[in-house]
Amino acid sequence: MKRLLSGGTVVSGKGTKRADILIDGEKIVQVARTIVCPEARVMDVTGMLLMPGFIDAHTHFDLDVCNTTTADDFTSGSRAALRGGTTMVIDFACPNRGESLHQGLTLWHQKADGKTYCDYGFHMTIDDWNENIEREIDDMYAAGISSFKMYMTYPAMMIGDELMYKALKKLKEKGGICGVHCENSGVINALIAEKKAAGETGVSSHPRTRPAALEAEAVSRLLRIAQVVDIPVVIVHLTNEASLHEVEAARKRGQKVYVETCPQYLVLDESVYDSDDYSHAARYVCAPPIRTLDDQKALWRALRRGEIQTVSTDHCSFTLEQKEAGRGDFTKIPGGVPGVETRGELLYSYGVTTRRISLATMCKVLAENPAKLYGCYPRKGVLRPGSDADIVVYDPQADHVIRAEDMVGKAGYTPYEGFVTRGGIAQVWLRGQLAVDHGTVLADCSGKYIVRGKNSL
Footprint of Mn ion on this chain (CB under 5 A)? 314
Beta strands 20-24 and 2-6: pairing type?
antiparallel
Nearer to Mn ion, 317 or 319 (CB): 317
Half-sphere exposure of 65 (CA within 13 A, CB side): 23
Asked whether 432 and 25 are in contact (CB, 8 A), the reply is yes
Containing 243, the helix (H) or strand (E) segment is: helix 241-252
* Minimum separation from the CB atom of position 96 to Mn ion (A): 17
Nearer to Mn ion, 236 or 392 (CB): 236
Nearer to Mn ion, 314 or 345 (CB): 314
Rounded to 5 degrees, what are φ and ψ at 293?
-60, -35
* Minimum separation from the CB atom of position 154 to Mn ion (A): 10
- Peptide bond connecting 288 to the previous residue in cis, omega within 30 degrees of 0: yes
* Minimum separation from the CB atom of position 4 to Mn ion (A): 40
For 370-417, give the DSSP string: HHHHTT-TTTSSS-STTSB--EEEEETT---B--GGG--SSSS--TTT
Rounded to 5 degrees, what are φ and ψ at 327?
-65, 120
Nearer to Mn ion, 288 or 381 (CB): 288
Nearer to Mn ion, 286 or 428 (CB): 286
* Minimum separation from the CB atom of position 28 to Mn ion (A): 32
Residue 421: closest CA among 354, 374, 368: 354
* Minimum separation from the CB atom of position 291 to Mn ion (A): 16
* Minimum separation from the CB atom of position 399 to Mn ion (A): 31
Residues 6 or more apart from 45 whose CB is under 8 A from it? 5, 6, 7, 8, 393, 427
* Minimum separation from the CB atom of position 403 to Mn ion (A): 25
Nearer to Mn ion, 54 or 348 (CB): 54
Residue 49: closest CA among 305, 360, 266: 360
Nearer to Mn ion, 13 or 336 (CB): 336
User: Percentage helix, strand, coil, to 5, in the chain?
Assistant: 35, 20, 45
Asked whether 231 and 259 are in contact (CB, 8 A), the reply is no
Residue whose beta carbon is closest to Mn ion: 314
Nearer to Mn ion, 19 or 337 (CB): 337
* Minimum separation from the CB atom of position 25 to Mn ion (A): 35
